């Protein structure tokens, strides 16, 4: 995938550089000095690296920062768990690596569940079976999960939403892409169903894959009846459990009965309130369930069940799964090594324990954590100053924004030991030779935790990802930002690096997450995480005007295929929240960096350091991807592609123009925060 230049979008003219500059060797080696940074800053910062790196056969994307951090983290995890089959993580890893045992079992672990699907005599019975299977993670049409009420962020209620489908619904809005994908989906469904020996007696269907595709298409159409984001539509619906079961007897009533929620959730009763994200969706889903034949529903439930477990079974299932999801969908030409796959499974299935094992083997973690939190506090101070001085905020909104920033909860490196104990409940021991049994046991423990969370107080110390994650996030429902130890790997973060590098890389990521608290989503939640309109109408109008500037700007960018033909335009509306965070994060991180430099006699006050800050930011996003991956990202990802993220934010930064002496930098910048 070749990235596009945005010079044609009037980023900057290309004057000669005002002066030569020096960069650390590990930064300079990635740069392409034949490109003027004022013309295409991404290509300037990453061109040297792009010229030297190709996408490996087992990957759909290669990224400088993320790959280096991920590789370092995976190696540390391997050292921690590979030779320890007595711990939960070690036993799970060993069982995953035992392909002889997995191949000997084949599809046997699924036979009991599949038999219960085949034997169902009515749709009511089938939906109860589907609910029972959902106890171990195989959702069908409906997803039930605990989360806070939007107006009360302190307590969980039962939320009822749609189940994730095989394809994102936006695939069905792109006929050219869908034509290519849907045939392969049908083939994949047929393959895994056949591998289990699934068979319906006297069925009218010859090709089960076609049945899966047909049902999936009809389920996708239901999404049009529900933008399942209550914040964007300003509504969701509360019902008593018993009323929801009466109104939607199949997709909620029988399904929840099969899950045995009333028996297993101590705080849930027939009179408890449950939140449905869309009445229209569930009305149409109930109607569709009534119209589809019993056999068609059986085929689709069976497919959803097998697909949920395919990567935990024998080679044949894993290969089929990889061929479709990584090959067809993302363009990878080979599978990852079993070792890498099993590390990923351990992190996904035991996030708290995998994270703890990783952190325990990081000798530098205390110094790293201390250096990170010192930087973060400076960025928070810079954001507070920014809020105090923005001229488009009125005083009422300004005061509320500062209050929200002041109460922001920061969690970093790893969760506390209570999360380890919580994750270990029901998992006294795992079998190093029985991978599927281990997975089933873990899923069952997760289901038990889910039921106990319904009606309980929100656990504000719980993390949404493992400490072994090269990522970070902001949660509006709790007004929290989380920075796992995994993103504190090189090149994102090294306490020995200069302030320019630290603030330019992970500092901008931190500023990005802080800004999410004030973006299109975060702005709808108050300091306590409750859904609350705390902006005045005047400020909302000003915000929308500035946000629309970003929508228009980013919608003028596009990516190119490898042959240089324009491939896909950027969706400025879809990526708006992330673009606001990118631009705001770059702005406040730079200001925090300059404050650090001004207060320190060691860093000096040179233009070269400012350039290093911006190059460090840009190199965070050095990468190239296959065309299939680019298409999938456009369809499913709310982030713009790397070169657009870099050039778009640079385009709106006066500090960038000053650092690189770009006199033609446009005066009409899109600035929100």
Mean pLDDT of 395-416: 96
Per CATH, domain 7-74+353-415+463-659 is 1.20.80.30 = no
Name the pLDDT band for 533 (thresholds 50, 70, 90).
confident
Tens digits of residue pLDDT in 281-313: 899 999 999 999 999 999 999 999 999 999 999
251 burial type by CB count under 10 A (0-12 exposed, 13-18 middle, 19+ buried): buried
Under a CB-based contact definition with an 8 Å cutoff, are residues 255 and 134 in contact? yes
Tens digits of residue pLDDT in 606-641: 556 999 999 999 999 999 999 889 888 888 889 999
Amino acid 184: pLDDT: 94
Q: Flag the least confident range among 50-64, 470-484, 521-535, 554-568.
A: 554-568
What long-range pairs does 27-36 form, CB within 8 A, spacing at least 24? 27/501, 27/612, 27/615, 27/616, 27/619, 30/64, 30/619, 30/622, 31/615
Name the pLDDT band for 171 (thresholds 50, 70, 90).
confident
Phi, psi angle pair for 357, to nearest 5°? -65, -40
Mean pLDDT of 266-272: 96
Helix (H, G, I), strand (E, B) or coil at 179: helix
Asked if residue 2 has pLDDT above 60, the reply is no
Give the residue, 558 or 617, on which the prediction is more confident. 617
Phi, psi angle pair for 611, to nearest 5°? -65, -40
CA nearest 89: which of 372, 543, 466? 466
Asked if residue 513 has pLDDT above 60, the reply is yes
Helix (H, G, I), strand (E, B) or coil at 65: helix
Name the pLDDT band for 562 (thresholds 50, 70, 90).
low
Tens digits of residue pLDDT in 187-237: 999 999 999 999 998 888 889 999 999 999 999 888 766 554 444 444 578
Name the pLDDT band for 18 (thresholds 50, 70, 90).
very low
Tens digits of residue pLDDT in 585-598: 999 999 999 999 99
How many angstroms separate the CA atoms of 288 and 282, rounded?
A: 10
381 burial type by CB count under 10 A (0-12 exposed, 13-18 middle, 19+ buried): middle
Amino acid 5: pLDDT: 41
Mean pLDDT of 317-342: 95
Mean per-residue pLDDT over the chain, rounded = 90
Tens digits of residue pLDDT in 411-428: 999 999 999 999 999 998
How many angstroms separate the CA atoms of 11 and 153, rounded?
A: 42
Phi, psi angle pair for 271, to nearest 5°? -95, -5
Pinpoint the alpha helices (H) of 413-557: 417-424, 435-453, 499-502, 508-516, 537-555
Name the pLDDT band for 177 (thresholds 50, 70, 90).
confident
How many angstroms separate the CA atoms of 305 and 134, rounded?
A: 8
Amino acid 58: pLDDT: 92
Mean pLDDT of 86-101: 97
Angle at 486 between CA 420 and CA 167, to 5 degrees: 90
Tens digits of residue pLDDT in 113-128: 999 999 999 999 999 9
Mean pLDDT of 644-667: 89
Question: pTM of the prediction?
Answer: 0.92
Under a CB-based contact definition with an 8 Å cutoff, are residues 481 and 408 in contact? yes
**List of residues 6+ apart from 285 with CB closer than 8 A:** 141, 142, 162, 219, 222, 248, 251
């Amino acid at each position: 995938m070749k990235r596009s230049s945005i010079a044609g979008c009037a980023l900057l003219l290309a004057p000669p550089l005002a002066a030569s500059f020096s960069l650390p060797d590990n930064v300079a080696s990635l740069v392409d000095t034949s490109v003027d940074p004022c013309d295409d800053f991404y290509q300037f910062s990453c061109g040297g690296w792009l010229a030297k790196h190709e996408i490996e056969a087992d990957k759909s994307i290669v990224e400088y920062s993320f790959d280096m951090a991920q590789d370092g983290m995976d190696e540390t995890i391997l050292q921690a768990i590979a030779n320890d089959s007595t711990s939960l993580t070690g036993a799970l890893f060993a069982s995953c690596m035992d392909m002889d045992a997995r191949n000997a079992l084949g599809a046997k672990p699924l036979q009991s569940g599949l038999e219960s699907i085949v034997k169902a005599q009515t749709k009511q019975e089938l939906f109860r079976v589907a609910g029972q299977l959902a106890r171990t993670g195989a959702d069908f049409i409906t997803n039930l999960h605990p989360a806070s009420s939007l107006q009360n962020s302190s307590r969980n209620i039962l939320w009822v939403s749609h189940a994730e489908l095989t394809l994102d619904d936006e695939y069905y809005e792109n006929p050219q892409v869908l034509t290519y994908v849907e045939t392969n989906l049908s083939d994949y469904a047929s393959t895994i169903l056949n591998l289990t020996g699934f068979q319906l007696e006297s069925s009218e269907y010859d090709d089960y894959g076609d049945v899966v595709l047909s049902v999936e298409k009809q389920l996708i159409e239901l999404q049009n009846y529900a933008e399942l984001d209550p914040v964007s539509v300003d509504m969701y619906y509360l019902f008593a459990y018993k009323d929801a079961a009466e109104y939607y007897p199949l997709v909620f009533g029988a399904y929840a009965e099969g899950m045995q929620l009333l028996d297993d959730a101590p705080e849930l009763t027939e009179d408890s309130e449950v939140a449905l994200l869309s009445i229209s969706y569930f009305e149409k889903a109930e109607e569709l369930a009534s119209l589809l034949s019993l056999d068609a529903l059986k085929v689709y439930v069976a497919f959803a069940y097998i697909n949920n477990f395919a990567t935990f079974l024998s080679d044949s299932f894993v290969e089929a799964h990889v061929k479709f999801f990584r090959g067809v969908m993302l363009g990878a030409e080979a599978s990852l090594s079993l070792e890498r796959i099993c590390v990923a499974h351990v992190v996904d299935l035991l996030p708290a324990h995998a994270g703890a094992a990783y952190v325990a083997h990081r000798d530098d973690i205390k110094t790293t954590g201390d250096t990170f939190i010192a930087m973060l506090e400076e960025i928070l101070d810079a954001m507070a100053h920014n809020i105090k001085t923005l001229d488009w905020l009125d005083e009422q909104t300004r005061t509320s924004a500062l209050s929200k920033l002041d109460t922001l909860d920061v969690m970093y490196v790893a969760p506390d030991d209570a999360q380890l104990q919580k994750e270990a409940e029901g998992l006294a021991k795992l079998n190093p030779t029985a991978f599927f049994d281990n997975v089933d046991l873990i899923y069952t423990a997760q289901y038990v935790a889910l039921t106990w969370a319904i009606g309980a107080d929100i656990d504000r110390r719980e993390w949404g990802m493992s400490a072994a994650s090269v990522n970070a996030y902001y949660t509006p429902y709790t007004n929290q930002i989380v920075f796992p130890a995994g993103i504190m790997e090189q090149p994102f973060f090294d306490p020995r690096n200069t302030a320019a590098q630290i603030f330019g890389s992970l500092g901008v990521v931190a500023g990005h997450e802080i800004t999410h608290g004030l973006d299109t989503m975060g702005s709808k939640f108050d300091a306590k995480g409750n859904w609350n309109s705390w902006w005045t109408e005047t400020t909302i109008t000003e915000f929308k005007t500035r946000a629309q500037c970003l929508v228009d700007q980013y919608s003028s960018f596009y990516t190119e295929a490898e042959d240089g033909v324009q491939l896909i335009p950027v969706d400025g509306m879809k990526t708006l929240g992330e673009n606001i965070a990118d631009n705001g994060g770059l702005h406040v991180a730079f200001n925090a960096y300059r404050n650090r430099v001004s207060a320190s006699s060691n860093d000096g006050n040179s233009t070269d350091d400012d350039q290093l800050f911006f190059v460090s930011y840009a190199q965070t996003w050095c990468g190239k991807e296959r065309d299939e991956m680019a298409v999938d990202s456009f369809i499913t990802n709310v982030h713009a592609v790397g070169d657009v993220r870099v050039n778009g934010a640079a385009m709106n930064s006066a500090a960038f123009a000053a650092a690189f002496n770009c006199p033609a930098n446009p005066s009409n910048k899109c600035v929100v925060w």
